[in-house]
Amino acid sequence: MKRPAAPDPTHQRTIAGLDLHSAWLILIACAAVSMVVAAMAALNTALPDIAIDTGADSNQMTWIVDGYTLALAALLLPAGAIGDRFGRREVLIVGLAVFAVASLLPVWTDSPTQLIATRIVAGAGAALIMPTTLSLITAGVPESKRPIGVSIWAAVAGAGAIAGFLVTGILLEFFSWQSIFITFAASAVLTGSLCLTIGTSKDHDPGRFDIGGSVTSILAVTGIVLGLLEAPHRGWVDPVVLVCLVGGVALVAAFCVLELRRTSPLLDVRLFTNRAFGSGSLSVMMQFFATFGVFFLILQQFQLVFGFTPLQSAFAMMPLVVGVGIFALFGNWVAVRFHSLRFVLAGGLLVAGLGIVLLGAIHFDTYLSLTWTLVLCAIGIGLATAPSTTAIMANTPLGNQGVGSAVNDTAREIGAAIGIAIAGSIMAAGYSSRIGPVADSAQAQLIAMGQQQVGAGDTLGGELLISQADVAAEHISRSLAEATAVADRLPEQAASLATQILHGAQEAFLEPMRQAYVILGAILMASSLVLIWLAPRRVIPESFDESD
């Protein structure tokens, strides 16, 4: 009697359909990319403590966060090409080492300028990390399992910012702000050590390195992102903002002309004529345009309107994490299995856009009442996120996976910058136009209270209150956060004034917040119509299928 064949042990050692080698590679890559994304958001909740210890002003506080983002975005394309040329694992390890050192240095800094410098260096390290993580997956995971790997990576990268809020909130509950940097440094060292256990990949015939294209791309992205970061503070018609944006766009055009003439370009811009590659890039940019615009608004809503702590706000974002994680896997499977890239991308953005519009159209008084709109946003972003990245990477030559990943990541960064710039500008303009009467009334009442104290014999206390009236009005006029701080610092006898300030500032905040939600959601829904026309059905369009 013939014995049945013994089962192949390599087929039994699997996790969710992935062999152990692929699963381990994906785990390491996702651990690295989660740090990069988390570091973009983590410091926002620690800024008040950092400002007190370092003496940072409001502009310096902004650049403690934005310096990292700017360096990351500007260096992504050259960093991706370096990974393709010298080995993706090796460049990932170097990036993690730079990130670890730059994350540890703030523990000993005593000025905001030094802290900003360390964040810029950390952003440079992050630029070496981010594209290599995805390109290692697409080059190292078997083709049949690649969509799973990309789905997991996209879900982790999408939820990384919320993880940053969560980790920061927990650390700040028990430790000082320096603990955030120590945690990032330790995590980078551990991940770098684990990278020694995975294989590497690279382009075996990379050609001459495109120095001119690298410099042009760095300057172009720097101009665009810098202009977008400064627009909410300076205004869109400020000369610095206009020079950055117009100059950045002109340099993008120059970059395209330059790359078309190169025999070994940094980025073959003809890839954007591939409809799957182009639509995937547009979809990624629009997803992060909406996501980070919503983050900017909703975290303020949670903390300043609902009264949540930073940690509570991070937990309140968990429906987004869960929804994106689940539907990223489902969306990629549907897009690849049923050749429905067009409908998954467009449908996902349409659903997410609808959820964001509803955040602004409906007046929510409690967190629980708005949870279902967060779930709607998560479903839409989750459906579109992984297929977008798959469309980019599947249509990038295998030897240029690092550059393809950098395109994906650059689209994310530019989209996030645009979303924050538009949301921030709407909020700044709307709040400023409404808060004037509240600030003027507070100033007048503080002066009157001070005069009453002087008349009652408390000359020192009354004069102090009068001298603080102008400063208080200025702070109230700037933002809801500063207005809240003014109300909290008022003495007990001014409790009714504190209530007036809080109520008036929240009213001045809520209406432009709702308008910003509606505008962000409407733009996202409009982009879904563009994708219906632009995107092909197949992730890798077949040349003989003319309908694609």
In a domain? residue 38: yes
What's residue 546's pLDDT?
41
Q: Are residues 113 and 223 in the same domain?
A: no
- Residue 58 CA to residue 74 CA, distance in Å, equals 24
CATH number for the domain spanning 100: value is 1.20.1250.20
24 class by beta-carbon count within 10 Å (0-12 exposed, 13-18 middle, 19+ buried): middle
Residue 142 neighbours by CB distance under 10 Å: 11
Last residue of a domain, one of 150, 182, 200: 200
Q: What CA–CA distance (Å, rounded) separates 484 from 330?
A: 43
Beta-bridge mates of residue 15: 18
- Position 467 scores a pLDDT of 82
How far is CA 304 from its chain centroid? 21
Question: Range of 242's domain?
Answer: 210-263
Same domain assignment for residues 117 and 99: yes
Q: Report yes or no on 430 lying in a domain.
A: no
Q: What pLDDT does residue 62 have?
A: 81
* Model pLDDT, residue 5: 45
Q: Are 373 and 544 in contact (CB under 8 A)?
A: no
> Do residue 118 and residue 230 come from a single domain?
no
- The tally of CA atoms less than 13 A away on the side-chain side of residue 226 is 21
> Among 263, 292, 308, which residue terminates a domain?
263
CA angle 40, 42, 48 (to 5 degrees): 120
- Measured distance CA(297)–CA(17) in Å, rounded: 39
Taking the C-alpha atoms of residue 434 and residue 413, their distance in angstroms, rounded to an integer, is 32
Is 378 within the bounds of a domain? no
List 255's β-bridge partners, or say none.
Answer: none
Please indicate, yes or no, if residue 101 is contained in any of the structural domains.
Answer: yes
Distance CA 129, CA 157 (A): 12
User: For position 172, what pLDDT does the model report?
Assistant: 84
Same structural domain, 179 and 81: yes
Shared domain for 22 and 130, answered yes or no, is yes
For residues 194 and 220, state if they share a domain.
no
Round the CA-based radius of gyration of the chain to a whole number and report it: 25
* SS3 per-residue string spanning 324-390: HHHHHHHHHHHHHHCCCHHHHHHHHHHHHHHHHHHHHHCCCCCHHHHHHHHHHHHHHHHHHHHHHHH
pTM of the model: 0.90
Alpha carbon distance 350, 363 (integer Å): 21
Q: Are residues 240 and 149 in the same domain?
A: no
Last residue of a domain, one of 263, 286, 308: 263
Q: Give the residue from 288, 367, 382, 373 showing the smallest Cα distance to 334.
A: 382
- Determine how β-strand 14-15 pairs with β-strand 18-19: antiparallel
The phi, psi pair for 15, rounded to 5°, reads -130, 115
Contacts of 247 (CB under 8 A, 6+ apart): 223
CB of 543 within 8 A of CB of 274? no
- Cα–chain-centroid distance for residue 445? 42
Could you give the number of structural domains in the chain? 3
In a domain, 420, yes or no: no
Whether residue 36 is found in the same domain as residue 126: yes
Q: Which residues on adjacent β-strands are paired with residue 14?
A: 19
User: Rounded to the nearest 5°, which phi and psi values hold at 424?
Assistant: -65, -40
Amino acid at 373: T
Question: Could you identify the residue written with the tokens 């969509």?
Answer: 147
Within-domain flag for 183: yes
- Tell me how long the chain is: 548
For position 480, what pLDDT does the model report?
A: 87
Tokens of 239: 């000369």
Residues 6+ away with beta carbon under 8 Å from 317: 162, 165, 166, 298, 374
Structure tokens at 500: 């007036």
Question: pLDDT digit of tens for each residue in the chain (548 aa)?
Answer: 444 444 444 444 666 567 899 999 999 999 999 999 998 877 777 877 887 788 877 678 788 888 999 999 999 999 999 999 999 999 999 999 999 999 999 999 888 999 999 999 999 999 999 999 999 999 999 988 888 999 999 999 888 888 888 888 888 888 888 999 999 999 999 999 999 999 999 988 888 899 999 999 999 999 999 999 899 888 899 999 999 999 999 999 999 999 999 989 999 999 999 999 999 999 999 999 999 999 889 988 998 889 888 788 888 988 988 898 889 989 999 999 899 999 999 999 999 999 999 999 999 989 999 999 999 999 999 999 999 999 999 999 888 899 999 999 999 999 999 999 999 899 989 998 999 999 999 999 888 888 888 888 878 877 887 888 888 898 898 888 888 888 888 887 788 888 999 999 999 999 999 999 999 999 999 999 999 999 999 988 665 344 44
Shared domain for 78 and 196, answered yes or no, is: yes
71 shares its domain with 136: yes
Q: Note whether 97 and 229 are same-domain residues.
A: no
Output phi, psi for 426, to 5 deg: -60, -45
The position carrying tokens 């008022």 is 490
User: What are the CA-CA distances from residue 433 to residues 145, 478, 486, 525 (Å)?
Assistant: 54, 11, 19, 28
The tokens 């004034």 sit on which residue?
497
Q: Let me know if residue 427 belongs to a domain.
A: no
Owner of token pair 């890239």: 341
Helix (H, G, I), strand (E, B) or coil at 201: coil
Residue 153 domain flag = yes
How would you write 258-301 as a 3-class SS string?
HHHHCCCCCCCHHHHHCHHHHHHHHHHHHHHHHHHHHHHHHHHH
Q: Are 90 and 226 part of one and the same domain?
A: no
**Given this model, what pLDDT does residue 102 score?**
97
Residues in Cβ contact with 279 at an 8 Å cutoff, skipping those fewer than 6 apart:
341, 342, 345, 388, 391, 531, 534, 535, 536
